[in-house]
Amino acid sequence: MVRHRMLDVNGIRLHLAEQGDGPLVVLLHGFPESWHSWHRQFGPLADAGFRVVAPDQRGYGRSDHPEDVGAYTILHLVGDVVGLVRALGEERAYVVGHDWGAPVAWHTALLRPDVVCGVAGLSVPPPFRGARPPLATMEEMFGGRFYWNYFARPGVADAEFGADPRTALRKFIFFASGDAPDAGEGGQPLVDPERGWLATMPDPEVLPRWFTEEDLDALTESFSQGFTGALNWYRNLDRNWELTAPWQGAVVDRPALYVYGDRDAVPAFPGTPELISQLPELMPSLWRPPLELAGCGHWTQQERPEEVNAALLEFLRACD
C-alpha cells in the first residue's frame, strides 16, 4: 500500500507518498504533474525490494508553495532532495526525475554526488551549461514565443491555466503525448501571442488509454492552490544559469540512465538532438546509450510504464 505523510524539509513542508522497504529510490515529477505521475512505478519497484518515495515538489500539490519567486531556484530544489533523503533517515538514494524533475535529479547528482547512488532522467537529458542564459537565448531565437518565455511572465500562464484547470490539464497532457496527431514532427512549442497557448491545443474527446479520468481527477485536485508555484520554476531559469556558474564544464559522474520518447518535443529542442547523440562520449558514467521509446511522447513513465519500469529495475540492480 502507498502511504502518505508530511515531512519538514529544507525549511518547508513536503507531502510525499512512499511504499516498500530497502534501498531508497526518490522519484521527482515535472510540470504540470504531482507525485501521482509515478503511481505505476510504486508497485513494481517496491516488489523488487526498493523503498520508493515520490514527493509533491515545492510549489505543487499538498507541499508548501512559497510566495517568493526566488525560493524556486535549482539550489532550493536540490536542497529539498538532499533534505528529504536525510529526513527519511538515509544517507544516500537513487534519484529519478521526469521533465523538470530530471534537471533536479541531474543537478543533485552533479552538486551532491555523495548523496546519489545512481541517477536517471526521463525526457530531459543531463545538464551541460550553455554559454548564455536560457530565457534570453530562447527570447531571441523565437521572438518571445517559446513556452519557457511565456511561462516566465508573471501572472500570464497562471491565469490561463487557472481559469479552468481540468480542461487546461486535459488539453496539455494530450498535446504533449505520443497520441497527439502532430507529436514527433519536430515543431517547437510556441505560444500564440494573441490567443495564449491552450487555445491552440486540441481538446480530446477521449483520453489516451494510459491516462484515465481518475488520473485527471487526481491531477486537477493537486492544482487546487493554483499554478503559480509550479510556474515559478520557469521564472528561475536564467537565475539557475547564474547560480550554476561554478559547475561550468562539470559532468555528472554517478551511474546514469537517460530515457526519452521519439514523439516527445523536449528531445527536439534546439541543440538537444546533437547533445543526445553525443552523450555516450560526453558522459562516461552513462550506464547504457540513451534509451529511445518508440511511439512515446513526453509523459514517459505514464505512457510506457512497463518499459520504463524494466529499464529502471535493470539500472538500479546494476548499480547495487
Distance in angstroms (rounded) separating the CA atoms of residues 113 and 78: 11
B/e letters for 264-291, b = 16+ CB within 10 Å, e = fewer, are bbbbbbeeeeebbeebeeebeebbeebb
Distance in angstroms (rounded) separating the CA atoms of residues 119 and 286: 9
117 neighbors 51 (Cβ within 8 angstroms): no
Check 56, 64, 99, 264 and give the catalytic one: 99
Instruction: Extract the C-alpha cell encoding 206.
Output: 477521449
- 99 tagged catalytic: yes
- 253 tagged catalytic: no
Q: Diameter of the chain by CA atoms?
A: 52
Per DSSP, 247 falls in state: G
Half-sphere exposure in the Cβ direction for 125 (13 Å, CA): 28
Check 29, 36, 107, 298 and give the catalytic one: 298
Of 207, 224, 210, nearest to 56 by C-alpha is: 224
Which residues are CB-contacts of 88 (< 8 A; sequence separation ≥ 6)?
7, 24, 53
Distance in angstroms (rounded) separating the CA atoms of residues 221 and 43: 23
Half-sphere exposure in the Cβ direction for 267 (13 Å, CA): 29
Of 63, 84, 104, 56, nearest to 236 by C-alpha is: 104
Q: Which residues are the active-site residues?
A: 99, 298
